[in-house]
Structure 1
């Protein structure tokens, strides 16, 4: 039975719903969970995470359409995870440090800066840009160092 093409286009605008319609329950649930987690964090004050919401929406939209095209061509679908679990096992130290840095940044941004603002004049944008600059430098350093280690191991 062929699924209506218009319905796929409409349901795919909401992350995960198009995947549910295609029968890809794991993938749809993961995309929907990521979207609602980002929505939750942006509503409780982590507004910087809003940047990732359109990325999730468009990724889910085009992924559902690609899966629909694959299903039309081969008449089968495989429900794969959005993120491979091997990625988390191989890069767990990097992901852990990234989460610690992100949590520290949000802690400084939402609690420490507001507490210090009562006693001192601190330009909010200055510290935010400073922290993001150091974060980018750190991530770049880690990526370059890991690439150098891969080259020396070969």
Structure 2
């Protein structure tokens, strides 16, 4: 087996994966090639749908390219050293090559999982956690759909939260594969029927509010625009949404004050009860 040129490896690595294929690491090369293709497809999908920030997936391309270049140069050095050692000692390269392939299998699995996690839910599906993957993907696309349908850009703040959660959760899972990963995000609510409690009430109120906003935005507002004009329509939309947020904030403040009062009264009541019992 001939030694590999690091310069040629560097040149070929400008297309992620080709440098590894030149070194004979076909699976590793395909991993980087697929990762690049997946990022391109995700970027094209976001651009065609016109949702979120169009170029956001392409941010990963420089990191994939740099990782491919550095990784291919490191393996070129390792392969050349192995060839030199085998020529000096007369030992066959087959055992060394098998060990290298076994080492790369686990690493390729991690790289693919992290690449798929660029779309929330896809990485979890790749790892076999279908329920959690579907929940994350539905949450992402529902957020994007509602923000576009209702014209509420505030909902888009949940998209990067889901994105970062997906990436770091996948990273944690592949770093600690033997650790208990727990249940899916909403699994406990459905299995233990917790939706009938406080969480269910909050979810119900949220669905009712979203329903009213949809009726108001798609049915009432066009009629108001016809009768009063577009400017009044925008004023009403902004004012009603602002009132909803103010009402929610006031409700939260009242609830927190009531809890503080109850927590202050409870110790005094318990102490008076204890004194009466002593008497």
User: Given the two structures, how large is their TM-score scaled by the length of structure 2?
Assistant: 0.47
Answer yes or no: is 1:48 the counterpart of 2:140. Answer: no
Which blocks of at least 5 consecutive residues in structure 2 are unaligned?
1-104, 264-279
Contact 2:150/2:213 (8 A) holds in 1: no
Q: Does 1:149 align with 2:258?
A: yes
1:88 Cα deviation after fit:
6.5
CA offsets 1:62-97 (integer angstroms, 9 cap, x no match) = 2222322232xxx23424222451477323223322
Larger Rg: 2
Q: Is the CA contact 2:150–2:217 (under 8 Å) kept in the aligned structure 1?
A: no
CA distance in 2, matches of 1:77, 1:144: 38
Structure 2 residue matching 1:118: 3-state secondary structure: helix
1:117 aligns with 2:217: no
Tell me, in whole angstroms, the C-alpha distance in 1 between the residues paired with 2:112 and 2:196. Answer: 34
Count residues in correspondence.
Answer: 150
Is contact 1:15–1:60 with CA below 8 Å preserved after alignment?
Answer: yes
What is the CA distance between 1:106 and its match in structure 2? Answer: 2.2
Distance in 2 between residues matched to 1:104 and 1:126, nearest whole Å? 17
Query: What is the match of residue 11 of structure 1?
Result: 116
Residues 24-52 of structure 1, C-alpha deviation per residue, up to 9 Å, x if partnerless?
A: 22211211222233344456x33426613
TM-score normalised by length of structure 1: 0.78
Matched residue, 1:127: 236
In structure 1, runs of 5+ residues without a counterpart are none
Secondary structure of the 1:101 match is: helix
RMSD, aligned CA: 2.6
Distance of 2:195 and 2:174 partners within structure 1: 26
Q: Cα–Cα, structure 1 residues 70 and 140, in superposed 2: closer, same or farther, change >3 Å?
A: farther
Say which structure, 1 or 2, has more relative contact order (CA 8 Å, 6+ apart).
Answer: 1
Q: Which residue of 2 aligns with 1:31?
A: 136
